[in-house]
Structure 1
Amino acid sequence: MAPEVTERDAAATAAPPPRGRAVRRILAGRESGVLGALLLTVLAASFLVEGFATGRNAGFLILDVAAIAIIALPMTLVVITGEIDLSVASTLGLTSAVMGHLWVAGLPLETIVPLCLVLGAVLGAVNGLLVTVAGLPSLAVTIGTMALYRGLAYVVLGDTAVADFPPAWTAAAVGRLPGTDVPQVAVLIMVLALAVGVLLHATPVGRSLYAIGSNDEAARFSGIPVRWTRLWLFVATGAGAALAGVFWTLQYGSARADNANGLELSVIAAVLLGGVSIFGGRGALPGVIGGVLLLGAIRNALQLADVSSDTLNIVTGLLLVASVVAPNLVARLRERRPRSGVPPARPRTPDRPLRTEES
């Protein structure tokens, strides 16, 4: 006698998997939803907000989100592994303060910029060591270093501002490509995005990041160096924040200890809006780029409509909450909905015996 087969098993075995499932999954994913929301936002703002649909304003929008995009790229990798770094804005501020201090001390910017990048990598390594070696949760660690690095920025530069950087450098930070309204920094962002995208989606390293975020114990048993991987990701995030700090300082022509205060919320909101799961193991870089642009488009439209900065912070907070709550609601709705092609199991009763096959 062959093993007993239930009606559900038989139906599931007989029904072939639907074709085009991968395509439908991509079209129904959060990444496509974010890109669709970005398109709707741009269209609505173009009709409703005066001055939005101009090339000059598009250039300003890119400049406005450039620092967020630079930090969001390595932050995406960190969040995919199930960790988070809330100290990035403070790292940016400390980098700006050190940059101003070294400039006042007489060092050339050709020397200052590499030193600032090394500083950011060291600050990221401190976070990484506390998480991977000491075994502390990244949320608690980076909340602490967020306050620590911001405090060190005030120790380095105090309440003063350094604003006499060479015009050639400040002009290059906000300069446009010849004959266009596209800022030059867009090229840097595209190169970094391409590198991170290839790493995440086309290499074994990227697959290991998803494995770590899904189940770090299983990833460790499969031979993935979980600790080292997370450590280097924190180093990359610190270096990215330092690069954003250099750009921020030159963009606004001012080195201050309070530069980019609160920017970490915008970075996290953009990453989560882009479809990266806060619990790790899920997400794609195109969605993150869409999240950065969506956040920037909304803020830019509200600024053109003379909305106060407090309202902009409220909108950012609402988007951050929505990006965390919405995936959970969608997942619960999907769990309640029966799977297509598989009829619900019928209760076993004496009047209706299960079908069996005789050998």
Structure 2
Amino acid sequence: MSILTPDAPAQARSYSAYSRPFWQRVVMSREFVVIALLIAAIVYSRSSVEYFDGPQTMYYLFRDSASILLLALPMTAIIITGEIDLSVASTVALTSVCFGMLHVDGGLSVGLAAILAIGLGAVCGAVNGFLVAYVGLPSIAVTIGTMALFRGIGAGLLGTESRTGFPDSWTDLAKQRIVEDQPYPMILIPFVVLAIGFALLLHFSPFGRGVFEIGLNDEAATFTGVDVARTKAILFVLAGTVAGVVGIYTTLVTGVARAENSMGLELQVIAAVLLGGVSIFGGRGALHGVIAGVLLIGVIQRAMLLSGETVNIINIVIGVLLVLSVMSTSLLAPVRRLVAASKGARSSGRTSDSAGKRSLS
């Protein structure tokens, strides 16, 4: 029989009793580090690199980063599930080729040709999703194969040729600024819309919670009611659809549709996603960190180009940042354990003091 005494009052429990304080969760995160690096890079570049903060430089920074920003949205969700899609750049190239052929050779309007090309991108994503989610093949093997397949189809359709002659009204729209004399290209509007949609889907919906559960443990996610196969298939279809949009955008900005478009873009997208704090092992990541990671790479590239650095030096710097970002979880773990241990020691000391006071009383 237990006896309740006034010496052991019930203590109210709160979320902070079961987790680290809010400031620790914010500061001791990879996303915070990336955002801090982005701010530092902007401040340093504005003070040290001539013409960096000019409207023309910032315009090209946003315009050149737009394709990576768009593709990074679905790629973030895919990598959080523990999968990967290496075929996005090839899908961009294939949709660019088909868009050019449908408009220039087929005589279709730009709008109709764009819709059909985006639909083709969704089909490419569905092929990846079916093979990964329902057949059960490894995503890295599937998308390496489709990376070669999709670009090969584009090269087979056009060969070394290209398609040009798109209406000036459409190419000018793709390069237009939101406000004249301001450094913000029009492509940022659809990006912001898609970013809000993906943020709501990933971070504020049951579907998004299922994405994180799959990344942590797909078998456990199945037992909690998550349709793992359907979730993965949807994410690959979304990746293909966004790649189709990027294919249209790339074609209109450059004015050329060819099979070599966006060569190597998939590596830049994956590097930006990992740099933004998404775990390559799945189960962890946030879109705001990924967006900061894309912009950080863009700022570094633009600043170093204006400073006269070669592409090889720029790639070395970006590669070092990527390696450090992947290592950051292991680097932060000892700090977190030290903070937790010191907090536990203080808590034990307070408990011992309280017990001593009660015994004396």
Q: Deviations over 1:266-309 (max 9, x none)?
A: 10111111111111111111111101110111111122123233
CA offset at residue 94 of structure 1?
1.0
Corresponding residue number in structure 2 for 1:75: 75
Q: Distance in 2 between matches of 1:103 and 1:118?
A: 15
Q: Distance in 1 between matches of 2:307 and 2:164?
A: 30
Residue 252 in 1 paired to residue 288 in 2? no
Q: Tell me which amino acid in the other structure corresponds to 1:162.
A: R
Contact (CA 8 Å) 1:92, 1:242: kept in 2 or not? yes
Q: Distance in 2 between matches of 1:56 and 1:274?
A: 26
Corresponding residue number in structure 2 for 1:356: none
Contact (CA 8 Å) 1:98, 1:116: kept in 2 or not? yes
The equivalences for 1:263-302 within 5 A come to 263-302=265-304
After TM superposition, the score normalised by the length of structure 2 is 0.87
Q: Distance in 1 between matches of 2:19 and 2:214?
A: 30
Among 193, 198, 201, the residue aligned to 1:199: 201
Q: Distance in 1 between matches of 2:343 and 2:336?
A: 15
Q: Tell me which amino acid in the other structure corresponds to 1:51.
A: Y
Unpaired stretches in structure 1, ≥5 consecutive residues: 3-12, 345-359
Contact (CA 8 Å) 2:30, 2:325: kept in 1 or not? no
Among 314, 321, 324, the residue aligned to 1:322: 324
**Residue 340 of structure 1 aligns to a residue in which SS?**
helix
Change (3 A) 1:311 1:155: farther
Q: Distance in 2 between matches of 1:322 and 1:172?
A: 39
Q: Which is helix-richer, 1 or 2?
A: 2
Q: Tell me which amino acid in the other structure corresponds to 2:292.
A: G
Which deviates more, 335-344 or 303-312?
A: 335-344
Q: Distance in 2 between matches of 1:143 and 1:318?
A: 25
Unpaired stretches in structure 2, ≥5 consecutive residues: 3-12, 347-361
Change (3 A) 1:20 1:332: closer
Contact (CA 8 Å) 2:104, 2:165: kept in 1 or not? no
CA offset at residue 101 of structure 1?
1.6
Contact (CA 8 Å) 1:269, 1:319: kept in 2 or not? no
CA offset at residue 19 of structure 1?
8.9
Corresponding residue number in structure 2 for 1:229: 231
**Residue 341 of structure 1 aligns to a residue in which SS?**
helix
CA offset at residue 318 of structure 1?
3.1
Which deviates more, 22-31 or 53-62?
A: 22-31
Q: Deviations over 1:40-77 (max 9, x none)?
A: 00111112211101122111100010000010011111
Q: Deviations over 1:95-154 (max 9, x none)?
A: 111112222212211111111111111101111111112211111111111111111111
Corresponding residue number in structure 1 for 2:168: 167
Q: Distance in 2 between matches of 1:144 and 1:305?
A: 39
Contact (CA 8 Å) 1:84, 1:139: kept in 2 or not? yes
Q: Tell me which amino acid in the other structure corresponds to 1:166.
A: P
Among 310, 313, 320, the residue aligned to 1:311: 313
Contact (CA 8 Å) 1:120, 1:242: kept in 2 or not? yes
Q: Distance in 2 between matches of 1:331 and 1:126?
A: 39
Q: Distance in 1 between matches of 2:141 and 2:120?
A: 22
Residue 104 in 1 paired to residue 108 in 2? no
Corresponding residue number in structure 1 for 2:351: none
Corresponding residue number in structure 1 for 2:127: 126
Q: Distance in 1 between matches of 2:262 and 2:274?
A: 20
Q: Deviations over 1:13-64 (max 9, x none)?
A: 9xx9399712320222111111100000011111221110112211110001
**Residue 284 of structure 2 aligns to a residue in which SS?**
coil
CA offset at residue 334 of structure 1?
4.4
Q: Distance in 2 between matches of 1:18 and 1:207?
A: 20
Q: Distance in 2 between matches of 1:341 and 1:47?
A: 41
Q: Tell me which amino acid in the other structure corresponds to 2:232.
A: R
Contact (CA 8 Å) 2:202, 2:208: kept in 1 or not? yes
**Residue 283 of structure 1 aligns to a residue in which SS?**
coil
Residue 34 in 1 paired to residue 34 in 2? yes
Q: Distance in 1 between matches of 2:224 and 2:151?
A: 39
CA offset at residue 331 of structure 1?
3.0
Spell out structure 1 runs of 4+ moving beyond 6 A.
Answer: none
Change (3 A) 1:328 1:86: farther
Q: Distance in 2 between matches of 1:315 and 1:239?
A: 32
Residue 209 in 1 paired to residue 211 in 2? yes
CA offset at residue 338 of structure 1?
6.2
Contact (CA 8 Å) 1:83, 1:138: kept in 2 or not? yes
Corresponding residue number in structure 1 for 2:179: 178
Corresponding residue number in structure 1 for 2:149: 148
Q: Tell me which amino acid in the other structure corresponds to 2:50.
A: E
Change (3 A) 1:51 1:209: same
Q: Distance in 2 between matches of 1:329 and 1:20?
A: 18
